[in-house]
Structure 1
Amino acid sequence: MLLHIQKSGLTHAATAHDWWHRFGRVPKKGTRPLLVLRTKGPVDFVFDILDTEGRDVPVDAFAFPTFGDLSDNRFSEFMRAVGKERIDLVVLDSGDGQAGWIRLLAESKAETGKNVYQLAYNRNHAAPTRFVTVAHELAHLYLGHLGSDAGRRVPYRRDTPHELMEVEAEMVAYLVAMRNGLKPRSESYLANYKGAFEDLNLYAVTRAVNAVETAMGIASHKLWNEKS
C-alpha cells in the first residue's frame, strides 16, 4: 500500500490528532509525515509510531486497530438497523483480543424467508473498531460462509477454505470502512492469510460490500461520519 511504499517496515500509523487523543503521543520534532489518500479529500498526513514520542503504548493497543471518527450514537444507529434484519445482537464484555463472531441460529421455514443469526461484538473497543467488527461478521453471512440464505439471495459457499473466508470477509470490512471514512489496519490482519489471495472471488466481495452497507442502514448519499 501507499504507506509501505513511503516507509517499508511500517507497522502502525495515524494522524497527529489520533496519536495525541488516543495514546498521548506527539510526532518527534523534525519528523516528516507520510501521505495517505483521504476518503473525501485529496490527502492526509500520518506518522509512524516510531516517529512519535510520549506515553507508552499498551502492548495490545493494536489488536484490532481502526482510525477515524465515529460516535457511539452513530454506531447505535447502525446496530438498530442490523437488529431489524433478523439478526440477534450480543454485546461482549471481553479483552482487547476478542473482536466478535457470527453464527446461524435458525433456518427459515419459508422457502424464500430470511434465516436468523446471532452476531456479537466487543463493547470495550472504540466505536470505529466495533463498526469494522460488525462489517466483518456480516460479510461472512453475505459471502455465504454460513451457508445459503434464500431470503437474502446468499449462495452456499460454506465449503470455502477458512483462510479464504477470512480474506474475503476482511476485504469487505475494509472496503465498507474506507467508503465511509474509517481507516482499519486490515493489512496486519490479512498478513496471516497471504496464501489465500490467489482464489479471491472479487464478485462475491463486491456484492457483499453493498449487502453489508444495506444491512447497516448506510445510504450512499448520507455522510454519516460527519459530526452528530
Structure 2
Amino acid sequence: MKDTRAQIDILYDEVREYREIDAFQDMLKSLKPLPNLAPFNAMLVQMQKPGSRWVLSAGQWKDRFGRYPKPGSRPLVIMRPFGPISFVYEYGDTEGREVTDEMIRKHFVEPFRAEQVVDAETLYDFTEKLHREGIRYREEPYGTTMGGQIIRMERIDSKHLVKTTSVANHFVEQHACIVVNSSLKPTEKFITVLHELGHFFCGHLGTFGMKHIPVRDDLTKEIEEFEAETACWICCNRLGIDNPGTVDYLAGYKEEHGQIPPVSIDTILKAAGCIENVIHKDGNIRIGLKVIEKFPKENEKIN
C-alpha cells in the first residue's frame, strides 16, 4: 500500500497539468461523486475511469439494487482496509433493476452529506469524538483574524475520560489540543476543526507512534498550510458544506504562485479519509491509543 501511495505522488509529479491550481481543484472536485469511497480510493477510481459515479462491489450491487456487472465489463481496483485490493464496478457497467433517484439519494448521498449549516449540537457531537483520536478541544476568545490552532501536548499525563462502566473509568491519552475562536459560528468552528485535523493527520505535529499518521514534521509552513487546507476542502466539498475560506486561499495562492507547492497528494487524500472517518464513524477509540483504566474509589466523584 505504501508503494501504491508513492506511485500516486510520482504520477502527479510527472503529469504537469495537475500542478496548476485550476487543474488541481478540478481533480479534487472529481472526488465528490464518490462519497461512499474514501478519498484515496475515489481518486484511484477517477484515475482508472474518469467521470465515474456510484461505485460498488458486485455483491453490493446485487444485494442493494438487484444489479449485476455487464458481461465483459472491467472492474476498477481500490485499496481494501487491512488487505491488498478490492474490485468495484461503476453504475454504467452494471445492468438489472432500474435505480431511481430516490434510491440514489438514500444509498449514496444522504448518509454522507451534512447540512449547509452545522448547528451547535452537531458541532458538540463531532468534537466529543476527537477525544477518542487523542485530541482535546477547547475554545478561546481570539481576535477576529484568528480562527484556531492545533498544539502538540507535551504533558505525559494528559488524558481524557471517554467511558465509565460499573467497574472502571476509561481514560485515553491526549496527544494534541485544537483551540478554536469562541466567537465563530458553529459551521465556522466545524471547518476550523477540519483544517486543524488536516495538520494532525498529515503528520505536521509528528506521528505520536501511531501507524495511521506519517512522520512529516520537517516541512515548510507553506506546504503544511496548503496540505491542511486542501484536506479540509475535500471534506467540506464531499459533505456539501460551503467553505469560501479555501476558495479565497487557493485564489490568492494562484495569483501569487500559479502552481501548487510540492505537497504529497496521497498524504492529503489519506488525511481527508481519516477526517471523514472521525465524522461518520461511531467514535470508537483509535487503535494505537493508550487506554488507562482507573478503578474508582467508593463515592468517588467522576468528572
Q: In which range does the TM-score fall when normalised by the shorter chain?
A: 0.5 to 0.7
What is the 5 A alignment of 1:95-106?
95-106=143-154
Number of aligned residue pairs: give it: 154
What is the CA–CA distance in structure 2 between the aligned matches of 1:150 and 1:177, rounded to whole Å?
A: 28
What is the CA–CA distance in structure 1 between the aligned matches of 2:126 and 2:211, rounded to whole Å?
A: 19
Give the 3 Å change call, closer, same or farther, for CA 169–100 of structure 1 in structure 2. same
Q: Deviations over 1:83-133 (max 9, x none)?
A: 222212121122331100001113879xxx976111111121111111110
Unaligned residue ranges in structure 2 (runs of 5+): 1-21, 23-107, 158-171, 283-303
Q: In structure 2, what is the equivalent of residue 31 of structure 1?
A: none
Q: In structure 2, what is the equivalent of residue 218 of structure 1?
A: 280
Q: In structure 2, what is the equivalent of residue 70 of structure 1?
A: 118
Q: Deviations over 1:113-162 (max 9, x none)?
A: 97611111112111111111001001101101112232253121111111
Contact 1:106–1:115, Cα closer than 8 Å, also in 2: no
Q: TM-score, normalised by structure 2?
A: 0.46
- Residue 90 (1) aligns with residue 146 (2): no
Q: CA RMSD in A?
A: 2.8
Match of 2:242 among 183, 196, 199: 183
- Residue 208 (1) aligns with residue 256 (2): no
Give the 3 Å change call, closer, same or farther, for CA 141–172 of structure 1 in structure 2. same
Match of 1:157 among 213, 216, 225: 216
1:103 is paired with a residue whose SS is strand
What is the CA–CA distance in structure 2 between the aligned matches of 1:161 and 1:192, rounded to whole Å?
A: 18
Range 192-201 or range 128-137, more displaced: 192-201
- Please state how far the C-alpha of 1:181 moved relative to its aligned partner: 1.8
Contact 1:172–1:209, Cα closer than 8 Å, also in 2: yes
Give the 3 Å change call, closer, same or farther, for CA 147–107 of structure 1 in structure 2. farther
Give the 3 Å change call, closer, same or farther, for CA 184–151 of structure 1 in structure 2. same
- Residue 174 (1) aligns with residue 233 (2): yes
- Residue 145 (1) aligns with residue 204 (2): yes
Q: In structure 1, what is the equivalent of residue 181 of structure 2?
A: 122
Contact 1:99–1:122, Cα closer than 8 Å, also in 2: yes
- Please state how far the C-alpha of 1:40 moved relative to its aligned partner: 5.3
Match of 2:127 among 79, 83, 108: 79
Give the 3 Å change call, closer, same or farther, for CA 191–159 of structure 1 in structure 2. farther
Give the 3 Å change call, closer, same or farther, for CA 198–91 of structure 1 in structure 2. closer
Q: TM-score, normalised by structure 1?
A: 0.60
Q: Deviations over 1:41-75 (max 9, x none)?
A: 9xxxxxxxxxxxxxxxxxxxxxxxxx922111111
2:149 is paired with a residue whose SS is strand
- Please state how far the C-alpha of 1:214 moved relative to its aligned partner: 2.1
Structure with more of its chain in helix, by fraction: 2
Structure with more contact order per residue of length (Cα contacts < 8 Å, sep ≥ 6): 2
What is the 5 A alignment of 1:27-42?
none
- Please state how far the C-alpha of 1:81 moved relative to its aligned partner: 0.5
What is the CA–CA distance in structure 2 between the aligned matches of 1:164 and 1:117, rounded to whole Å?
A: 20
What is the CA–CA distance in structure 2 between the aligned matches of 1:101 and 1:213, rounded to whole Å?
A: 20
Q: Deviations over 1:10-62 (max 9, x none)?
A: xxxxxxxxxxxxxxxxxxxxxxxxxxxxx959xxxxxxxxxxxxxxxxxxxxx
Letter in 1 for 2:181: N
